[in-house]
Amino acid sequence: MTTSPNVSTATIPSRPGQPYPLGASVDEQGVNFSIYSENATGVSLCLFSSKRGEKETHRIELTEKTENVWHIYLEGIKPGQLYGYRVDGPYAPEEGHYFNANKLLLDPYAREVHGTVGGSTEPLGYNFESEADDRFMEMSDVDSGKVAPKSVVIDSAAFDWGDDKAPRTPMHKSVIYEMHVKGFTYQHPTIDGSIRGTYAGLGTPEAIDYFKRLGVTAVELLPVHQFSNESYWGYNSIGFFAPHNGYASSDNVVAEFKQMVKNLHEAGIEVILDVVYNHTAEGNEMGPTISFKGIDNKVYYHTVPEQPQFYMNHTGTGNTFNLTHSQTLRVVMDSLRYWVQEMHIDGFRFDLASALLRELDDNVSSFLDTVNQDPTLSQIKLIAEPWDIGSYDVGQFPVRWSEWNGKYRDCVRKYWKGDKGQAHEMTLRVLGSPDLYADGRGPGNSVNFIIAHDGFTLNDLVSYNEKHNEANGEDNNDGESNNESWNMGAEGPTDDPDINQAREQQKRNFLTTLLLSQGAPMFMMGDEYGRTQHGNNNGYNQDSEISWFNWNWDEKQQALFDFTSQLTALRQKYPLLSRRKFYEIEQIDWLRPDGSPFQPDDYANPDTHCLALWIDGARVGEQDETGQHSNETEEGASKLLWVLNSYWEDLPFSLPAPHKSRTHYEVVVDTTTGQIESGRRINVKTPFNVPARSSVLLRMV
């Protein structure tokens, strides 16, 4: 490995240092640098000027190697120092090796990244100028040092957490708000313009007050690990320890992120990270050499056994991170622990989690076992997206894990659309999916959602039959085509008052179902006011008003927000709506419109479009996690009747009257009017009309 003629030959006092911990570790005298590569023939540490990061000031060859870890201790180095690595070894794609010392590489353990990732050809490890189809087989001699992102030395102990405490909201009591750091505050009218769209903006009193009024207990942030700039959503991570610097309003990215978490915790709001450990931004053989690929490609990625120049692509993004290798698994585990211990994160949602489970022969990897036994991770929320492009594993993760319940999403959409044959599954989904999670688990293992970032917004779900992704530049070929949506009679915006009224009622039906179902509800940023993406169901590259939160609401949007926030308050008020355990058969009844119990034929009947769940709080005599009996309060002892009528006509309903002393019901929720706890009462002997396509929650008084 040669030294650039522009690099200083002045020496920095050094000593061998230690192999662990990996990364750059600061003490009062200097910094210990260490990096793992078992197939490299040489490793050089490169230091850069701390102003713009373009000038390489020192290149130091590492001579110490312990257990495949290359390491050195440099005296006098301070926090803020920019650095990177050049790793030598064979450029032999046919053997799975893509070493190229011309490329500056990010430290996999970098706590902060300086500069942007992506947008230039210099990091490509192969001869980009070649026109050959297999040009990736020919090594590039272009140096990427000036444009490549740089790792930053960080003093993790410098931030004062004070008396910060994790809220530790039980999963079944959680209300999760999936959101984008930039998109949420970027157009906020009163937050200071210099911090809109940043971690600082998300930690402001204005943002936190909004979360409190909405009634969410946790924010689930779309990826904030350092990612390349090709995607707005951020599902192309490259720095598993570094907060994305594009969301920072200051140079001190880590401290700004920590302050955001601290502020949210003070308000009792948890922070869950959407994490992408299944693949990286380096893509396939035609992708850039930014970090792992150039450090030791065969260690960090699944390659095709017969043709190791190519990558296994379980994720649809070009590569798959190789968690069958102990070092790659170490990186992920160290990253998870770092975010919990140093950044005080409360949980993780694992993108395409099924891809994390695969050995080369498609057997389950050791990842789940490693996570399950970890004492740090046993204290936080673990949520799987239980599928990838090759498998659908809803209900199949271990007991420690909650899951995005895709079956809940699909069933609820079909039911309210009026599809036939949904009744039996619907009774399971609104009770927390005991068919999927009864084996040692509970309702909290089901993260119920109808809308997520990838798909229609709630407004668009009831406004479009087809996707309209022309703005993405892919001729409307991207995005899911099977959305189980229904435009209620017109494609997109309309002036028809009947259609608009029906759409608002359908939104309320979806929100009511979501927030009254057993399990952990999750809804997407903006659905509480009716955010639209104009029919775009795949806004991954839309860093625009298509994806940003709009704070200028009309009367209709304000009404939907008020309805949603009252629903979240209702969920907290009535313990029967968010139980720790599944309901037992004797504690509930499913009723027909005539008031009689459901029979097997009713569940199986494809034309069953009306369900009524009767919950008698007096039958539920168990303690919650605080030791309080669920029937010790007036709300806990309530008798609730929840009617879900997806039929296209009004239905008369006979109200159950099990107690002579209680002669009335109070209307708690009515999706036709949008009113919650209006005070309206109904005599049990009075015929009750359930309007078409509506949901009503009644409480016996």
What is d(CA 488, CA 648) in angstroms, rounded to the nearest whole number?
12
What is d(CA 225, CA 332) in angstroms, rounded to the nearest whole number?
12
End-to-end CA distance of the chain: 82
Quote the tokens at residue 514.
């979501």
Any bridge partners for residue 178, and if so which? 220, 524
What is d(CA 294, CA 301) in angstroms, rounded to the nearest whole number?
11
* Residues sharing a CB contact under 8 Å with residue 352, sequence separation 6 or more, in sequence order: 276, 278, 279, 314, 315, 385, 387, 388, 389
Pair 281, 118: CB distance under 8 Å: yes
Pair 42, 2: CB distance under 8 Å: no
What is d(CA 106, CA 238) in angstroms, rounded to the nearest whole number?
8
Write down the catalytic residue from 122, 178, 385, 670.
385
> 330 exposed, middle or buried (CB, 10 Å; 0-12, 13-18, 19+)?
middle
Write down the catalytic residue from 256, 346, 351, 425.
351
Residue 230 annotated as catalytic: no
Residue 164 annotated as catalytic: no
> 573 exposed, middle or buried (CB, 10 Å; 0-12, 13-18, 19+)?
middle
What is the per-residue burial (b if ≥16 Cβ within 10 Å, else e) of 383-402? bbbbbbeeeebbbebeebbb
Contacts 24+ apart (CB under 8 A), 463-468: 463/487, 463/488, 463/491, 463/492, 463/493, 463/503, 463/532, 463/535, 464/491, 464/492, 464/535, 465/491, 466/491, 466/535, 467/535, 467/536, 467/537, 467/538, 468/492, 468/534, 468/535, 468/536
What is d(CA 351, CA 332) in angstroms, rounded to the nearest whole number?
13
Active site residues: 351, 385
